[in-house]
Amino acid sequence: MRHLAIATAVAASLSAWSASNATAQTPVDYPHKVVTLVTHSSPGGGSDVFLREMAKHLPKYIKATFIVENVQGGSGARAISRLATAPADGSVFYATTPTYIYTSLLSKTQHSYKDVEPLVNFFTDSEVIYTRTDGPFKTLKDVIDKAQVSRGRWGAANPASLERQAAEQLKKAAAVFPAVVSHEGGGDLMINVLNGTLDIGVGEIPELRPQLEGGKIRLLATFDPQRMEAFPAIPTVKESGYAVVLEKFRGLAGPKGLPPAITKIWDEAVPKLLADPDYQKVYKAESLVANVIPHDKYQGFVQNFGSVTEAFLKESGVLK
């Protein structure tokens, strides 16, 4: 009888766990069977990787199929226009990063970040400085020392990116004048770091992962305010002696006028997604830090980021 009681209790416990787990895994109904996630990144770029990994896990929480569409060109301008002219019904979203703010401020675009609606933020991303493993640079100081003697060449993903601004701010803080070469995507940038055309590149862990694991590149520093949990031996730019601290936000935006029913679905689904143990393994391995900013607060966050960025660009003489 005692064994029977134990077995019954275990079965009941398993049944309750299964029911609870099934409930947690039941996706909420969505008005569209297919949702398009647009990015300005080339395949393999930071936003492309972010969307494709997220799209694998989202269907557990939102009942839809998620596809990624790469709309390259104009440092993100074409992708912003793609979103701004899409129906505001929850069928199309765009991967937001500081790039779409910089593109809007630095270029005469048909549509700007003010013409789309921030939906929700997922992560804070690390910006890192890297170089080829078989090159001459072992530390960030080595790179700065060379720039003081012979300028040098640094690389960033595209002209209107946080990576480009990170490189420009580092130049100012270190009082050096290397050429900062822009690229249309992280893949092209990586090629030029590996072949020695560039001394360093500025990028994100997700797009660097294959070359990191292959031992082809070396991390020199991070622009984070503190060292990365996954790379504790890598110093910050600030502790290396240069007062530059930057963090990259990653979220989604939709066309203006998103229905409250749609924003509510995402506000409720994203925290569940980020708590998913399977997805946590993926994004923590890429040094992404969960940072949920819901719809009602994300709009103000983006507007403030845009205002602060515009002020910095005017102060530094980039904008008149």
Same domain, 194 and 256: no
Token readout for 273 is: 């997604």
Alpha-helical runs (H) found in the chain? 2-25, 46-57, 77-84, 98-106, 140-150, 162-174, 186-194, 205-213, 260-274, 277-285, 295-315
pLDDT for 16 beyond 70: no
pLDDT for 227 beyond 50: yes
Residue 230: pLDDT band with limits 50, 70, 90 = confident
Alpha carbon distances (Å) from 184 to 45, 53, 164, 190, 240: 10, 22, 12, 11, 29
pLDDT of residue 160: 65
**CATH assignment of the domain containing 176:** 3.40.190.10
Q: What is the pTM of this model?
A: 0.72
66 SS3 class: strand
Contact 39, 158 (CB under 8 A): no
**Of 228, 231, 243, 104, nearest in space to 166 by CA:** 243
**CATH assignment of the domain containing 268:** 3.40.190.150
pLDDT of residue 108: 82
Alpha carbon distances (Å) from 204 to 49, 156, 167, 222, 250: 11, 11, 13, 10, 12
Residue 119 lies in a domain: yes
Same domain, 120 and 134: no
Residue 237 lies in a domain: no
Q: How far apart are the C-alpha atoms of 264 and 153, rounded to whole Å?
A: 46
Strand-pair partners of 248: 125
Q: How many CA atoms lie within 13 A of 190 on its CB side?
A: 22
pLDDT of residue 316: 66
Alpha carbon distances (Å) from 49 to 18, 195, 257, 270: 32, 24, 27, 17
Residue 270 lies in a domain: yes
Out of 222, 238, 259, a domain closes at: 222
Q: How far apart are the C-alpha atoms of 196 and 219, rounded to whole Å?
A: 15
Token readout for 162 is: 């946080």
Q: Which residues of 191-205 are buried (b: 16+ CB within 10 A; e: fewer)?
A: eebbeeebbbbbbbb
What's the total number of domains in the chain?
Answer: 2
Contact 157, 151 (CB under 8 A): no
Residue 18 lies in a domain: no
In terms of C-beta density within 10 A (0-12 exposed, 13-18 middle, 19 or more buried), how is residue 289 classed?
middle
Segment 242-257 mean pLDDT: 92
Tens of pLDDT, residue by residue over 264-285, are: 999 999 999 999 999 999 998 8
Q: Which residues contact 303 (CB under 8 A, 6 or more apart)?
A: none
pLDDT for 295 beyond 50: yes
Out of 94-98, 102-106, 133-137, 192-196, pick the least confident.
Answer: 102-106
Same domain, 261 and 303: yes
Residue 13 lies in a domain: no
Same domain, 111 and 168: no
Note down the domain range covering 87: 34-125+249-315
Same domain, 112 and 259: yes
Question: Whole-angstrom distance between the N-terminal and C-terminal Cα of the chain?
Answer: 84
3 SS3 class: helix
